[in-house]
Chains A and B, each alone.
Chain A
Amino acid sequence: MKLVKQSATSWQYGLDANEANLLTLLLKEFPFTDLDPVNMSKTDQEPEAKEREKLLNESLVAHRNELKQSAESLLVPKKFKAQGNGMVMTVSSEERELLLQILNDIRVGCWNALGRPEKREPEITNLSAKENRNYGLMNVAGFFEHSLIKTEK
């Protein structure tokens, strides 16, 4: 995946056929994992802190629903156009941010589902099909994140 063109408001990336298939699959199937609750604070025991944490988790559920809608809206034909053997993806700056959030939701979600391993590659070979899938998704999402960001100046 390579940056083809960038303007003040839009980004255009070239993807080969495999990359285009993978990225559209990620967007179609999102989300892949359940949403884990998060902590608002590690030390604050005040009642307000518990209320804040509740609000944060509710907000994250709503945000994931928004990301799911964004994933669907990114799959429209005008965003992905066939070119040669691959495709060209055109997104606005806002859509690019949402795409990054979708990809990192996949990445972090799979990592959580794997038990938050220290290493990004499996240390054992006899993984279950689900574990294999999660390692694969985590690394593919990371590849696309890196490709989206690496061209920034």
Chain B
Amino acid sequence: MPSILEPATKPKRTVKKETRWNDDLAPTYYVICWNDPVNLMVYVTHVFMKIFGWNRQKAEKQMLEVHEKGKSVLIREGAEKAEFYVHQLQNYKLHATMEPAE
């Protein structure tokens, strides 16, 4: 007689693999901030802290990368979230775009 804790038929464990495969195929985007000579460095740092919740050290590092290398990849996200971040950055008048990651 089977124990009441043990179901007579056990579910098969094959469904998750397909879901994960679909997630892997979803396109991702880099959110990039581009350098310009008009936005103040303190302002760019402030905006990064505000939008991404980064601490000052991380925000300044990314800001300096924008300043010195001409651009910085800020984050890699799915389409919807990348679009959201570009809108936020553009509301602050930073030059930000989203580019396909692959």
Contact = CB atoms under 8 A, between A and B. Distances in A.
B50 A111 contact: no
B93 interface: yes
B100 interface: yes
Interface in A40-91: 40-44, 48, 52, 56, 59-60, 63
B42 A120 contact: no
A148 B40 CA distance: 12
Interface in A94-122: 97, 100-101, 104-105, 107-108, 111, 116-120
B91 A56 contact: no
B63 to A, nearest CB: 12
Contact of B50 (A60, A97, A138): A97
A107 B38 contact: yes
Interface residues of B, number: 22
Contacts, number: 69
Given A97-B50, A149-B46, A104 B99 contact: no
Interface of A: 38-44, 48, 52, 56, 59-60, 63, 97, 100-101, 104-105, 107-108, 111, 116-120, 138, 142, 145-146, 149-150, 152
The 5 A-B pairs at the shortest CB distance, nearest first, are namely: A111-B38, A108-B93, A104-B93, A149-B42, A41-B97
Interface of B: 36-40, 42-43, 46, 50, 79, 83, 86-87, 90-93, 95, 97-100
